[in-house]
Structures are given as structure tokens and as C-alpha cells.
Structure 1
Amino acid sequence: MEIFKQNESGVRSYCRSFPVVFNKALGAELFSADGTRYIDFLAGAGTLNYGHNHPVLKQALLDYIENDGLTHGLDMYSKAKERFLETFNRIILKPRGMQDYLVQFTGPTGTNAVEAALKLARKVTGRSNVISFTNGFHGCSLAALAATGNEHHRGGAGTALNDVSRMPYANYFGKEVSTIAMMKKLLEDPSSGVDTPAAVIVEVVQGEGGLNTASADWLRQLEKLCRQHGMLLIVDDIQAGCGRTGSFFSFEDMGVQPDIVTLSKSLSGYGLPFAVVLLKNELDQWKPGEHNGTFRGNNHAFVTAAAAFEHFWQSEDFALSVREKGQRIRIRMEQIARRHAGSKLFVKGRGMMLGISCPDGESAGRICELAFGKGLVIETSGNHSQVVKCLCPLVISEEQIDRAMDILDEAFAEVFDDAGSTRKAS
């Protein structure tokens, strides 16, 4: 460990929670240098929906490299890009009625996509203000960070974070309070102090914010409000997209049509850096090269993404399996919540983006620490880091799910049950 402590910046974080050296990964499992096996419920913070080193994706990449395929080409045309665009349109966009959306290749991370989306919205509308939501997380570069609610990340900016009005997310004040009605009132009052926004940026499931979920009705009302005030609707689907909620996009079948969608994380399917902005055709008002970057478009990621679309998304089978596994995880989590601390614990999230909310961040952090000692890599999320959060690969087996839930059960028992007591039967 000394080489990391001596040479790596103190900004490092995940390694502090999981202080071992990993040297191999396969499917839903990680292996440390000493051979210890861990079930991965972190999966690159949602970047590895198809698991580590999936054989189909790996072979596609190996074949491409073996044939001296283009590695880097700025935004020039390549066969790999051509195949990505063709498969993305044919398998993902067209069946969902989104074939008219254009694809903008941004820098390789999610925050790059968010920056581009916000910049475009401001360019198109001629306005600077943007609405974002409590507990939202959109990245750590400045414009994306301004739209992020997390105090810890915002504190690292070192400068003012402007041109964003924060609004309460769905159910922020409970189910009885309509946050859309509050927004509507503020937008219609010329003395509210809220400048008419260029756009609203929203996560359908707030991953880092604690697995808060928006209902279809809330999203439809939000879209209606956007149309009434000439605001663009940006859906940040960076963590919740690519199948995590049980459909490729988190907003499918919810009756909304975003103006702009940001995608990254599991888009490459292989953990390779890759991000895009999907935008309605009429919004494409960029001048050539007006928003660019050296690494916009990763040819290796084009290869693995296209292979992932063809292998997993040709039919509804994969999405169905995600929903079934999500239900399996939810049932086990609800059993754990009932067995330990009763009403103090509850399950949050959608699909395979689930977690157990604890009374405080200290207990949730201790649970994750204990779970790691038993062979499970899992992290927390939420405004107080109080949610023990599952982001396992979507290809995980039922046996691995059950083993992971057994480990969580044991960890929750050690934190919440009376010392030396025996856990009650389900």
C-alpha cells in the first residue's frame, strides 16, 4: 500500500473504503492480489452493468485491436463509429421512437456530457439560468457542479457556482406536498427572484442523492411545466440509464420526451470512458468545433458498446431479467429491513438500483465496512451517506445475489441487533 500513500493524491476515496489491491475481475466478482474473492455491488459506480470482462465484449475488442483498428481519431469518421451509430439507432433509439435524436460525442465522462447539455441549452434559449434539484448529482466540473446539490463536492470548487436555481425534488417535503406546484408558482411570480431558466436538469432516480425516485406523473407534470415556460427538459441518465432501472432509459414508458439526454457510465459496456448527449434535431445549433475535445469519441468504446447492444438489447429478455433480479434483491432487502431495526430501515430505488436507508450515515458506513470484511464491495449514498446502495452488475447470478444478501444480513445484524442476540427468522 505504501506506493499509493506516497505517490497518489489525498483526493483518492474508494480505495479508503476498500483497502486491498485488486488484480483481476470477472462478471460480478473482484479478486485481490492475495486471491481473496469479492462480490461487486459497486461495479464502477454503475459503469459495469454487463459485469467485468464480459466474454462477448472482450472478444469484440480483442478482434478490433488485433486488426489494428483505429484507437484515436478525434471526431473523424471511422468504421467503429459507423457501427456504433447504426446499432444504437437500430436497436436502442428506433424501437423507442427516438430515431430523430442526434448523437453528440463529448469528452469521455458523464460530467463532460452534462457540461455540453447545459451549454447547448443556454445557447439555444439565450438564457443562463438552469433549474436543478435537491440531492441531484451531475458531476464535478464547474457547470455540472453548480447543478449538483452535494455540499461536500460543491465545497471543493474554490469559486462561485452560479446560474442555477435549486428546486425541491419529487416528495422532498413528503407525498402531500406538490413540488411541481411550488415550481409553477415561483416561475409565474415575476418577483420570486427565479429567472426564467434555459433548462431543467433532472435524474429519474437520484443515484448519488440516495436513490430518490420520481414518479411518471411527477415527470409528466415537470415536462408540461417546461413546455409552458419554454424550458428544455434535460434528463441525466448517466447512472440510471443503460438498463439499470429495468429498461434502457430510466424514463421509458413514463410518457415523457426529453429534449436532451445525457449518457455515460455503462454506455461502453466495458468500463471504457464514453459519453454522449442525445438531442432533438432542431436543437442542433452548434457551429463546427464549437464544443469539442481531444477525446470525444472513443473507438474502443464504440466497439464494445455496439457489441453490448447486439448481445443484450435485441429483445426484451435482458430487461426482463433485470426486473426479475431487481425484485429478488428488493424482497431480500425488505426482509433485512424488517428483521433489523424495524421501521428505522426501509428500501429505496427502482429496478436493480436499490438500497436500504439507515437512520444515519455512521451505521450505514459501518455496515459497508463489515460487509467488505465478509467479501462484499458495497458503498453508501444519500445526503448523509445513510443509504447502503446496491449497484451490482446486471448480469449477476441469483446465487451471487443470495450470497451478497446473506452478507448484508449478517452486517446489519452486527450493527442493529443486540449484542450476542440471535437474528429472528424471516
Structure 2
Amino acid sequence: MTTPAPAQVPGDTAPPPAAPPGPGAGPAPSVFETLESEVRGYCRGWPTVFDRARGSRLVDEDGRAFLDFFAGAGSLNYGHNNAVLKRALLNHLERDGITHGLDMSTTAKRRFLETFRDLVLRPRGLPYKVMFPGPTGTNAVEAALKLARKVKSRPGIVSFTNAFHGMSLGALAVTGNAAKRAGAGVPLVHTAPMPFDGYHGADASEPFAYFERMLDDPGSGLDRPAAAIVETVQGEGGINVARPEWLRGLADLCERQDMLLIVDDIQMGCGRTGGFFSFEEAGIVPDIVTVSKSISGYGLPMSLCLFREELDIWEPGEHNGTFRGNNPAFVTATAALHTYWADDALEKQTRLRGEQVRAGLLAIAAEHPEAVVAVRGRGLAWGVQMREAGAAGRAARRAFDHGLLVETSGPHSEVVKLLPALTISPADLDEGLRLLACSVREALREPLG
């Protein structure tokens, strides 16, 4: 398939050709290298220029196709340019539907709220109000922390080891990764880290005994926090999966200790682990939930902060943002809910696809028992932890060479992380797993250095 050349705009003139490089010179640097900030990251691991995408495939400007096991870091649960969502978006734009709306009432917002209430909240018995805090996940986290502190009139927040909650200052304060925290440039205060499930080993008994003793001891130095914030599956932290009983224990502790429970479902929500919310399996009802990434369904910026009705003590305009009313995102989000969440078919399919991935990764682990530490995941979020420093990164680079996009995660980038679209076919999953197995094999043969 070739992409047609763009039509020339009247008045446009082609720029003069660049002068050829001098003798012995390498290729001229691209505009990405000369103009874009050094902060860019993913393009360094995937050195090509992507041009178009559909489903679970991206194509670069040279026509080379890549199988996507990344899904926009979990923002494209329904694949690239999903046809149903695209048609809904085009219809909205063609009728001059509202695009920018701040927090004004619009037809697109009303349809989303009604659909979200009827297909997501009511069937699960979730008593939540819906807040649109801004376009990104870190906006939702900031709103959640701010609301918890306002409700409890206490500044402290408990977070967990290897957590990741965003890159703005409040979200960084509850993030565990040292390199990301160091970028803040100022002290990150009013938070206290506690061990995530399994941090002290699989046999750790009474995981909250130390935490609760500190809360009850007036000499511990730990002021009573307003809330605890947790991911049920830590994506950036290395696909660390909290057990349902651990999550229930945390919810019980928060209730006993007059703390709010915030679940960050930004990457693991919207069906990534099977159910629409990742905490459903544990049977808990958090006080506050943050949602973003795949809530729009199409990769459009959108986030939600959900909370119990009695917590809705905001004053009008007390927390706002220019782009909190992204109406095109409301349109695609509504279409995604109608298409995939009117019944439990996608949830069942995700669990089946997850078993397919698990089997493929366990085969890789069995082939390299000395190199693979663990395989872990839920639904369609999986990770392969490598023993040797650098092995996961080499495997990801080899995968790119073979036309497969995967990233790494974990505090030492020691985990090969898989986030394929929930709509991926079994055949594409098998192909990607074969490419990954080949990539791991080749990475482990590379000399160290």
C-alpha cells in the first residue's frame, strides 16, 4: 500500500533542496535531531519515521510494517484508527460539532456521561461522580490528591514502592522511580512510601502490620495520611501484580484508619486486565479512581477523576483546566463504550488472549531458565523479567529489527513489557510472540558490554 502525495496548497512553494554533504560527511541530521528537544525518548529505541497505522500495525514512511505490542503505552486498547470510532469522530467533525468546550455543557459530553453511567457505573454498582480534570493522566492524579487532602484536611499521602503516577510535581511525589523523581528539581514532600505486594518476597505475612503499627504509634513519626494511592498492576514499575487479598487488606486498612483509597487505573483500566476497572477482581470499591489513556478509545487526550458522591466538596472552578472538555474525545469514548462494553464479550476475549500470551512467555522462560527471572501479568498486560542487566533492552532492540514494538519497564529496565491492543487477533499475537522469542534468543547471544 502506498500513501498518495499530499495536494499542493495554493501559494505554497517548495523549499530549495539542501546542499549535499561534503566529502566523507555522514547523513544530514533530521529536523527531529536539530529542532526537537533532547527529552524525546521512544524515537531513540525505534529509529524510524512512522506514517500511518491501523489495528495492531504501524507503517513507516518507507513502507515497512511493525506489529504493535505497545498500543500507545496503553492508550490504544482498541487498536489504531479503529473504524467504528473513526466514523463517529468524522461524523462529529463534519457536522461542526463542538471541539473545545472547557466545562460547558455539550451534547457530546451529555452522551458520554449517560453512556458511562449506564454501561459502566450502574452495572458495577459504583457510586461515583465524574470529574474532567484535564487531558492527561497526571492531571487526574493531581486532582485526586488535591481532593483527598481537601476532604481529610491532612497533607500526607501514602504511595508504594515502584509506583508510577505521572510527571507533574504532585504525581512525582507519589512515584517511586528515583530517576524520574530527580527531575523534579525541588523536594517532593508530604508522601510516605510503603512496600507494594511482594516487595519483601512472596512469603511475607501480614503485609500491613508494619504500616498499621506506625499509624497507631504516636511515636512513629508518621502523621496520619489523607489517602493511599495504588496501582493494582504496576505497569512502569515492572508489571508487578497485586493479589486480590492484598488489595482487600489495603482497602480494609484505609477504612479502619480513616484514609481514602485512591486506585490509579490510568494504564490498567478500560479493560486492560479484563474487567473495565482493574480493581473489580478484588471486589473493592475505591473512594477515588483515576482513569485516562484508553478512556477516549482513539488516543485522544482525556482523563477522569471518579469519586464517591459525598467527597464532591469542590467549589465551582476550584480545579480547572483549559482542555478538560475535549469533545472529540467524548465522541470516541462514547462509541467505544457502546461497541465494547454493552456486554462482557471483550472482557472474556481479553482473558483468553491473556492466557495465550502467558503460554507464549512461559515457553520463552522454559527455553532460557538461567536468564528469565519471572513471567507475570493479568489480562493483556504482561512482563518478562530478565536476570542480566541490559538483556531486556537488547531484546526490545532486536524486536524492533524484526518488526515488533515492545518497551521495557521496571526500576532497572529489566522487564520486557507487552501491552497489545485488546482487539488483536490470535494470529497476530502468535506472530508477535514468535518474534519476541527470536529476539530474546538473539539478545542473550550478544556479547556483554
The aligned residue for residue 159 of structure 1 is 186
Whole-Å separation in 1 of the counterparts to 2:55 and 2:114: 27
**Matches of 1:26 and 1:343 in 2, distance apart?**
35
Q: 1:75 aligns with which of 103, 115, 129?
A: 103
2:361 maps to a residue whose letter is M
Q: Tell whether 2:292 aligns with 1:264.
A: yes
Describe how 1:24-423 pairs up with structure 2 within 5 A: 24-98=52-126, 100-177=127-204, 178-342=206-370, 344-416=372-444
How far the C-alpha of 1:184 sits from its partner, in A, is: 1.1
Deviations 1:327-348 (A, max 9, x none): 0011000001111234733211
Asked whether the 8 Å contact 1:360–1:385 carries over to 2, the reply is: no
Determine helix, strand or coil for the equivalent of 1:179.
coil
Distance 2:66 2:37 in 1: 26
RMSD: 1.1
CA contact (8 A) 2:372 2:384 kept: no
Please tell me whether the aligned partners of residues 338 and 345 of structure 1 are also in contact (alpha carbons under 8 angstroms): no
Q: Give the secondary structure class of the aligned counterpart of 2:282.
A: coil
1:101-133 CA distance string (max 9 Å, x none): 100001100000000000000000000000000
Partners of 1:242 and 1:361 lie apart in 2 by 33
Contact residue 262 and residue 276 of structure 1 kept, 8 A: yes
- Cα distance in 1 between the residues matched to 2:173 and 2:389: 24
Taking the aligned partners of 2:378 and 2:350, their CA distance within structure 1 comes to 11
Q: Which runs of 4+ in 1 moved over 6 A?
A: none
Structure 1 residue 415 displacement after superposition: 2.4
Cα offset for 1:253?
3.3
Question: Are the aligned partners of 1:341 and 1:416 in contact in 2 as well (CA < 8 Å)?
Answer: no
Task: After superposition, give the CA deviation of every residue in 1:212-265 in whole Å (9 maximum; x if it has no partner).
Answer: 111111111111110111100000000000000011000113121100000000
Q: Secondary structure at the match of 2:208?
A: helix
Instruction: Supply the AA of the counterpart residue of 2:191.
Output: V
The TM-score, its normalising length taken from structure 2, stands at 0.92
Unpaired segments of 5 or more residues in structure 1? Answer: 420-426
2:42 to 14, 23, 43: 14
Letter in 2 for 1:254: A
- How far apart are 1:418 and its partner, in Å? 9.1
Counterpart amino acid of 1:142?
L
Q: 1:32 to 1:153 in 2, by over 3 A?
A: same
CA distance in 2, matches of 1:218, 1:167: 13
Matched residue SS, 1:279 = strand
SS of the aligned residue for 1:62 comes to helix
User: In 1, distance between residues paired with 2:230 and 2:39?
Assistant: 27
Residue type at the aligned position of 2:386: C
Q: CA separation in 2, counterparts of 1:279 and 1:125?
A: 14
Distance 2:281 2:360 in 1: 27
Identity of aligned residues (%): 53
- Using the alignment, how far apart are the partners of 1:157 and 1:418 within structure 2? 36
Secondary structure in structure 2 of the residue aligned to 1:220: helix
Moved more, 410-419 or 219-228: 410-419
1:192 Cα deviation (Å)?
Answer: 1.3
**Contact 2:371–2:386, Cα closer than 8 Å, also in 1:** no
State the Cα distance separating 1:190 from its structure 2 match: 1.3
Look up the equivalent residue of 2:431 and give its one-letter code: R
Distance 2:368 2:435 in 1: 14
Partner SS state of residue 390, structure 2: helix
Larger radius of gyration: 2
SS at match of 1:277: strand
Q: TM-score, normalised by structure 1?
A: 0.96
Structure 1 distance, partners of 2:101, 2:87, is 22
Q: Matched residues in 2 for 1:88 and 1:198: separation? A: 28
Shift of 1:349: 1.3
In structure 1, how many angstroms separate the alpha carbons of the residues matched to 2:377 and 2:352? 14
Question: C-alpha distance in 2, partners of 1:418/1:27?
Answer: 33
The whole-number CA distance in structure 2 between the counterparts of 1:36 and 1:361 is 30
- Contact 2:234–2:240 under 8 Å retained in 1: yes
Cα offset, 1:357, TM superposition = 0.6
Deviations 1:365-403 (A, max 9, x none): 000000100000100001111010001111111111111
Residue aligned with 1:294, SS: coil
Secondary structure of residue in 2 paired with 1:346? strand
By how many angstroms is 1:163 displaced?
0.3
Give distance in 2, aligned partners of 1:269 and 1:348: 26
Deviation at 1:417, TM superposition (A): 5.3
Do the aligned residues in 1 keep the contact of 2:232 with 2:278 (CA within 8 Å)? yes
**Partner-residue secondary structure (3-state), 2:280:** coil
SS of aligned partner of 1:272: coil
Q: In the alignment, which residue of structure 1 is the partner of 2:7?
A: none
Alignment partners' CA distance in 2, 1:285 and 1:85: 20
**Alpha-carbon shift at residue 205 of structure 1 (Å):** 0.2
State the AA in 2 paired with 1:181.
A
Deviation per residue, 1:73-108 (Å, 9 max, x gap): 11000000000000000001110001x310000110
